[in-house]
Chains A and B, each alone.
Chain A
Amino acid sequence: MSVIRFIVKRFIISIVTIFLLVTLSFFLLRTLPGNPFQTETLLTVEMQEKMMSYYGLDKPLFEQYLTYMQNLLQGDLGYSIKYRNRTVNEIIATSFPVSADLGLRALAVALPIGLFLGVLSARKRGKLTDYLCVLLSVIGVSIPSFILGSFLQYIFALKLQILPMAQWQTEWHTILPTIALALSLLAILTRVMRASMLEVMSQDYVKTAKAKGLSEGKIVRRHQIRNASIPILTMLGPMVTSVLMGTFVVEKIFALPGLGQHFINSITGLDYTVTLGLTVFFGIFMVFANFLVDIAYGIVDPRIRLMK
């Protein structure tokens, strides 16, 4: 019963969150100076006005807002202003699978390795292994992905010629972008896991477990990792969302048809409908991811189960 109440409550909060998100984005976006027809092809003022009225952008802002909300309720995100005859729904439907595919691959690489290295370096604190792990994570965090991506391309595609340079075609094409994206994730995960493990390792219950003669392996698995993974879980919601939504830099370097480029290009080009549509999509995804994280808390740590 309480589970259902929890879910219903969360659902209502989510709806309100998304509503506020859309409303705020809608009005904030329109406070940006300029209009989408002020492009480098230099339309005359009359032509711009004509286009503004064609798109209904000259109507009172609140009226436009109501129209947008009405369409949104029916799941219609509207037509892109730049890509004239493509809907935002279509853009998401074609680009999201690519971003999500890449993101999942990167997570599948980064998550196990990152957590493993985090645990390892905490367990071997102060030893060479620890320093190596810390070094790797510092490198991973500090090298921007456009440098790493170009470096990988240079070595594996241009010099060794064993992997394709760019594009998203075969399994081989996925390897370099996956590594480029995974390294920074891996580094963050390693650092957080290490810090969290170190904290857990000095807790009283670990000492108690030791005192009652539990084997080292069991202590690590049952008590330390389990408790240390709470901060990781908290991170995971936003991390998974942003990774699956695409990353502009990696997509650009490797010429991947993902969502990240649409986020950036639609904002710089003032393609209102695309920016808003992507924001809504991102918002729903984020809210859902956080919801899953909340449920996962309960599984990992009975103390913070939200229902009694």
Chain B
Amino acid sequence: MNKLFNKRFVGLSLLALLFGLAACSTTTGTETPPSENSDESNDVEQANIDQIFTFAGHNDMVSLDVSLINDEMSALIMYAINEGLVRNSYDEVVSGLADSYDISEDGLIYTFNLRDATWSDGVEVTADDFVYSFFRTLDPDTGSSQTSSFDSIVNAAAYASGELTEQSEVGIEALDDKTLQLTLAVNNPFFIDQLAQGTNFYPIRQDLVEEHGESYGSNPETFIGTGPFVLTSWEKESTIELEKNEVYWDAERITLDKVIELIIPDENTRVSMFELGDVDALYSISASQTVSFSDYGTYAGGTLQYLALNSDEGELLNNESLRKALSYAIDRESIVNAIASPGTEVAERMVDPSILIEGDPFTTLFPNSTNVPSGGDEEQALAYLEEALDQLGLSDPAELPDITYVSMDSPVHQQYAEALQENWRDKLNINVNLSILPVPQAIGALIEGDFDITLVSQSTGVNPDTLLKGFTVGNGNNYSNWENDAYSELITEQASNQDFNASMEQLQEAESILLESAATVPLWLPGSAYLVQDYVGDLHYGRQTGSIEFIYASILE
């Protein structure tokens, strides 16, 4: 028995060695290495150009359920396999499943006329598909974390919280099969942009939800969409495959026949695969990886990173002069150049410069700034520090109580924390302690106010008030715990102001109060670098997905 066992082992190991050698010799002889593309290379000889686009993502998508999606990877795919009333394409809002829409005089009633479009299985798209989807997302039993996207709509928030159960009182209504009416609580000129940006506004097939229940949207068999592509395969944590939807209303514009997303968590592996030509495009590449490529593209906007300084009563940073000293000491430009991902832009304020009002950036129409130079201002910083020490009755910065900077444990966040710590130590002689925590704990500390300084990344949205409205008194997003009644009043007033220009001016005024207080220090708008092979045409990097938009792309050669 034993003898046999050992002989087998030896035999097996020899076999393994032989196998390894054989593998080397057979493949060096053939022209293409064996890979998942091997069956595609056969087609190359038959068709002129194979319209297959392959890209690598760093994470798998989470769900195909429109009501639940809250991650970038799911949105990226959902954008291609489903469609909303309007669509964000090449940074412009274009028509989607709605052929046209009318806005009432007062800007409150939006009437969408749906086009003759079908789901990918041929079933007609109706206004009820949208009504069903919106109410399903709002329904407390669905457990969606995205209900606040609907806050502009009359009584949507009340319905989402369960206070109101009568659907007819919510401003969502199907007038007939092809007409959808949404009623807003206040004039919100950014509403169309919100609709175009959010995959949570896409329609859902009621019959599929009812058929599959909890497993709706967990695999290609339980999902049907209306978009330019159809999901044909989803191997979890491995590969996602899409094919052109032949019955899509605008199918003529779609060139690609097939899109393959490979899930490759490791960045080195992704970049090597790009070098090998296994993938046609990559995005979100870190600064260190771009060194070996001369022609990478960059893109910024969509997210703002700012420091929240805990300004709560009784906290050390309740002292405004000290906050200003810290703010003026930061050399944002050097940090962005040395650490941040390529394309990152220094931020001057709490509004994203890529937010447009009828084609013009909000930031040029309504200027504002912290007035802190991007390289910092050491003299100003020291002057503010002296003022702060005076107010606190101290003579030396070393006498300051401990200041804790809470950072997430990702490499980039840690590097930011260390660079900022160095700025404060070198320029102000203030020692800031770093507390590096895993994501949930770091967010926990942020929400509990258990920090002095922390870096917050927040999506800037399509409405310039997205971040600003969080700093009102008692708001859950007011991480700085900064309390200013004048500010809160302005924010509340502007939200219900029916005069658009006046409301934007109020917003601008409120922002200057916030920036002046230095309760929050805008740092930068993180950028993203991307790589595309020469033979890919019309690939776009847009705000819609925060990554690549491939639906109109093509393979050129």
Contact = CB atoms under 8 A, between A and B. Distances in A.
Interface of A: 32-48, 50-51, 54-55, 79, 82-86, 90-91, 94-95, 108-109, 111-113, 115-116, 150, 153-154, 157-158, 160-170, 172, 175, 221-222, 225-226, 252-257, 261, 268-270
Contacts of A51: 143, 145
Contact of B275 (A91, A115, A158, A167): A158
B476 A46 contact: yes
A36 B440 contact: yes
B276 A165 contact: yes
Given A33-B440, A112-B12, A170-B38, 13 more contacts: A32-B440, A37-B145, A38-B443, A38-B444, A42-B457, A85-B214, A91-B236, A116-B9, A157-B272, A175-B23, A221-B3, A225-B6, A268-B440
Contacts of A108: 12, 16
Contacts of A39: 439-440, 443
Nearest to A38: B443
Contact of B264 (A170, A226, A255): A255
Interface stretch (B29-37, B175-183, B312-320, B343-351): B29-37
Interface of B: 2-3, 6, 9-10, 12-13, 16, 20, 23-24, 27-28, 33-36, 38, 62-63, 65, 68, 70-71, 140, 143, 145, 147-148, 214-218, 235-239, 262-266, 268-269, 272-273, 275-276, 278, 408, 438-441, 443-444, 447, 456-459, 476-477
A166 B439 contact: no
Contact of B237 (A54, A82, A150, A257): A257
A162 B28 contact: yes
Given A34-B441, A255-B262, A257-B236, A165 B28 contact: no
Contact of B440 (A35, A41, A154, A252): A35
A50 B143 CA distance: 8
A55 B272 contact: no
Contacts of A109: 13, 16
Contacts of B439: 38-40, 268-269
A253 B266 contact: yes
21 contacts: A32-B440, A35-B440, A38-B447, A42-B457, A43-B145, A47-B145, A47-B147, A47-B476, A51-B145, A83-B218, A86-B236, A112-B12, A113-B13, A153-B272, A161-B33, A161-B276, A163-B27, A164-B35, A166-B262, A166-B269, A261-B265
A162 B36 contact: no
Contacts of A82: 62
Nearest to B8: A112
A122 B346 CA distance: 64
Contact of B68 (A43, A55, A84, A157): A84
Contact of A167 (B23, B143, B239, B456): B239
B34 A170 contact: yes
A26 B2 CA distance: 44
A95 B24 CA distance: 29
A90 B221 CA distance: 15
A84 B443 contact: no
Contacts of B444: 33-35, 38
B62 A269 contact: no
Contacts of A172: 23, 27, 33-35
B93 to A, nearest CB: 23
A158 B276 contact: yes
A40 to B, nearest CB: 6
Contacts of B264: 166-167, 255
Contacts of A269: 439-440
B143 A150 contact: no
A167 B33 CA distance: 14
B68 A167 contact: no
Nearest to A90: B218
B490 to A, nearest CB: 21
Contact of A112 (B13, B145, B265, B477): B13
Contacts of A150: 268
Contact of A84 (B33, B65, B268, B275): B65
Nearest to A164: B35
Contact of A44 (B27, B269, B440, B477): B477
The interface centre, meaning the residue of A83, A255, A270 with most chain B CB atoms within 10 A of its CB, is A255
Contact of A40 (B13, B27, B236, B457): B457
A164 B444 CA distance: 42
A113 B12 CA distance: 9
Contacts of B3: 221
